[in-house]
Amino acid sequence: MPKTIGILTAGGDCPGLNAVIRAVGKTLAASSHRLLGFKDGFDGIAFDRTMPLGENDFSGLLTLGGTILHTSRNKPHKMPVGKEILDMTNAIVDNYHKHQLSCLICIGGGGTHKNALRLKNQGLNIVTLPKTIDNDLSGTDITVGFHTAVDTVTRAIDNLHSTASSHKRIMLVEIMGHRTGWLALAGGIAGGGDVILIPEIPYKPEMVAETIKHRSRSGKLFSIVPIAEGVYPLDAQIAFANATARKAAANNKQKKEAAKQELMQLHEKYTHKTVELARQLEQITGLETRVTILGHLQRGGTPTPYDRLLATRLGTACVDCILQEQFGVMIAVRGEKLMPVPLDEIAGKLKSVPINHDWISCARKTGITFGD
Ligand code: F6P
């Protein structure tokens, strides 16, 4: 009996998403099963916004960035409907059965996996695929999109070397990664950064300046400082930790809302933290300093061959899993292999950079410092 499989992309987009959709669709078509796309993340299955995907719909997708299904960060149980926020879980379950889905594939990062687990616990057959440029998903060595973002960051830092050298400047490059340093670390090493700042390693501006002054004394009159967007000065880290603790301890809606407001104000207050660090470094070292924030450039572009291969492997492995009726799992990358991992084990868990990670030790051996 031909099966109908649902698929959606949720959370931040990244290069490689369309390559995954293509791999799933072509594999299903080869065994006469149907692929039904749901648009705009979980909104699509909540509000029944479908996009049937037939075998003629996949040409050109391997190299196309972004997602043809579009995406959103909305959560099934907290879905904006007009001016209200509604729990659309039941609507999702109804639409899942209305379309007689055998399984719903959710392609996403941390938030998506928490939402996918909730739907699995509602009795839906769910298989997820790991994607995010942050590579911060627990349970998998790597995520679709990370490799391409590292390539983008590396090329950006390459471009900064010539202007930093010409002007004998310190160049701070703010790199995405949400609350982890994977992207800044990988792109910083590959791009030849001199001091790499990541959330996992607390830094002191004076220590950053020390490396820069040491470089100056040995005739290297410019420095490149890749800094992850999740890096904050110590006072901010303490304030965030206190506000986060208050939010976790809040025993009523009012206290929870107050703590959320406090966190938003802190984010607002420290929005320009990288510019502030640049000013401090300029003051300490006497060198001109400039800031480049790479922003959403890191989410764009055509996927690298590595990500196209990874996307194709994950898409086909996902279909194998579905046809073997193995549900409630994420297809994870473990070394050279792909394997299904129970959603219960990984959903909601952040994968930070271990401070003894090989990338950190190899960076230090080449003279890169981390502000510590
Ligand atoms: O999760 C991917 C990511 O690019 C993070 O690195 C970044 O902090 C966030 O998304 C930006 O979110 P948005 O695209 O919603 O502004």
Is position 239 within any domain? no
Q: Can you give the C-alpha Rg of the chain in angstroms?
A: 22
Regarding whether 121 and 15 lie in a shared domain, the answer is yes
- Among protein residues, the one whose CA lies closest to atom 13 of ligand 1: 12
Is position 323 within any domain? yes
- Do 324 and 156 touch, CB atoms closer than 8 A? no
Regarding whether 10 and 112 lie in a shared domain, the answer is yes
Regarding whether 292 and 209 lie in a shared domain, the answer is yes
Query: Which ligand 1 atom is nearest residue 11's CA?
Result: 1
Is position 164 within any domain? yes
How remote is the CA of residue 239 from the centroid of ligand 1, in Å?
22
3-state secondary structure 253-290: HHHHHHHHHHHHHHHHHCCCHHHHHHHHHHHHHCCCEE
| pLDDT of the chain, 372 residues: tens digit per residue | 899 999 999 999 999 999 999 999 999 999 999 999 999 999 999 999 999 999 999 999 999 999 999 999 999 999 999 999 999 999 999 999 999 999 999 999 999 999 999 999 999 999 999 999 999 999 999 999 999 999 999 999 999 999 999 999 999 999 999 999 999 999 999 999 999 999 999 999 999 999 999 999 999 999 999 999 999 998 899 999 999 999 999 999 899 999 999 999 999 999 999 999 999 999 999 999 999 999 999 999 999 999 999 999 999 999 999 999 999 999 999 999 999 999 999 999 999 999 999 999 999 999 999 999
Regarding whether 56 and 199 lie in a shared domain, the answer is no
- The count of structural domains within the chain is 2
Neighbours of 70 (CB within 10 A): 18
Regarding whether 61 and 20 lie in a shared domain, the answer is yes
Range of the domain at 295: 149-232+271-300+354-365
- List residues with catalytic annotation: 134
- Among protein residues, the one whose CA lies closest to atom 9 of ligand 1: 178
Task: Tell me the C-alpha distance between 156 and 92, whole Å.
Answer: 41
Output the pTM of the full model.
Answer: 0.96
Q: Can you give the CATH number for the domain in which 169 is found?
A: 3.40.50.460
Regarding whether 178 and 83 lie in a shared domain, the answer is no
Residue 283's SS3 state is: helix
Regarding whether 328 and 284 lie in a shared domain, the answer is no
Regarding whether 55 and 191 lie in a shared domain, the answer is no
Q: State the pLDDT at residue 146.
A: 98
Regarding whether 153 and 136 lie in a shared domain, the answer is no
- Among protein residues, the one whose CA lies closest to atom 10 of ligand 1: 12
Q: State the pLDDT at residue 338.
A: 98
Residue 126's SS3 state is: strand
Per-residue tokens: 276: 């502030």
Query: Which ligand 1 atom is nearest residue 133's CA?
Result: 2
Q: State the pLDDT at residue 51.
A: 98
Is position 118 within any domain? yes
Q: Can you give the CATH number for the domain in which 18 is found?
A: 3.40.50.450
How remote is the CA of residue 193 from the centroid of ligand 1, in Å?
23
Residues counted in the chain: 372
Regarding whether 170 and 41 lie in a shared domain, the answer is no
